[in-house]
Structure 1
Amino acid sequence: MQPAPPALAFAIRTVVVAASLWVATVLVSGIDLATGTTGARIGTLLGVALLFGVVNAVVKPIVATIGCPLYILTLGLFGLVVNALMFMLTGWLSGVLNLPFVVDGFWAAFWGAIIVSIVSFFLHLVIPDRLDNR
């Protein structure tokens, strides 16, 4: 079987993250998507998903490299804190870019990051590997 074209795989991963972010807004109080219409919400979720991907691709490796001793000292639990901080950064950058996505505090970001990770994991189990090039 041929793998999907890179653009399709990128789009599928973006939609998976957007769906995961939506689940986090539903389940976690303190993560809000303050837009009116369904189309505007979908657009916001896709924009935030792209932003989340950029933050995780650019900032997270730097933080992980600098925080390597803390990862070792805490047996990897520091990764949960880093994920929450990346989620908070995404919420802050969303505000800077006028995307109506709000993350209200560390604990909302902590639980939101966990939910996004879990939902993304399960959605990727359902999607065939050839479609998202994993």
Structure 2
Amino acid sequence: MAISAFFPSSLYVANVEMAVVAAFVLGLLNWLVKPIVSLLSLPINLLTLGLFGLVINGAMLELTAKLVGSGFQFSSFWSAMLIAILMTIVSAIIAAHFDKSDE
């Protein structure tokens, strides 16, 4: 929801309930589909030194948008890639913060 507020022309989220549904679907896709896609794309991921993982994350977001429906949409694949990069950065910052708190 926060990212959609910063980029309203790139990501449309109808309401909080749709954001929760999209988060659940994205979690399921990341648990079930992403490992298979990552394994199949391992050679290109090695050639690009892991940067192809961003493309996979963007594709998972696009697939989420297709499965959820009209309440969760991206304006283009490139906007999904941008959102995937931002989500990765925010996730890394949050994970680093909580890892630091445990010490």
TM class by shorter-chain length?
0.7 to 0.9
Deviation at 1:127, TM superposition (A): 5.1
Runs of 5+ unmatched residues, structure 1: 1-21, 35-40, 130-134
- Structure 2 unaligned segments of length 5 or more: list them: none
The residue that corresponds to 1:31 in the other structure is 11
Root-mean-square deviation (Å): 1.9
Give identity over the alignment, percent.
35
Separation in 1, partners of 2:50, 2:89: 17
Partner of 2:89: 118
Aligned equivalents of 2:2, 2:95: Cα separation in 1 = 15
* Aligned position for 2:43: 69
Q: Counterparts of 2:37 and 2:3 in 1: how far apart (Å)?
A: 23
Q: Which amino acid aligns with 1:53?
A: G
Letter in 2 for 1:44: M
Q: Secondary structure at the match of 2:12?
A: strand
- What secondary structure is seen at the aligned counterpart in 1 of 2:65? helix
* Superposition TM-score, scaled by structure 1 size: 0.66
Return the letter of the residue paired with 1:118: I
CA contact (8 A) 1:23 1:115 kept: no
CA-CA distance at 1:126 after TM superposition: 4.8
Larger Rg belongs to: 1
Tell me, yes or no, if the aligned pair for 1:25 and 1:31 is still in contact at 8 Å. yes
| Higher RCO, 1 vs 2 (CA within 8 Å, ≥6 residues apart) | 1
Q: 1:84 aligns with which of 53, 58, 67?
A: 58
Report the number of matched residues. 99
Instruction: For residue 74 of structure 1, report the CA deviation from its aligned partner.
Output: 0.9
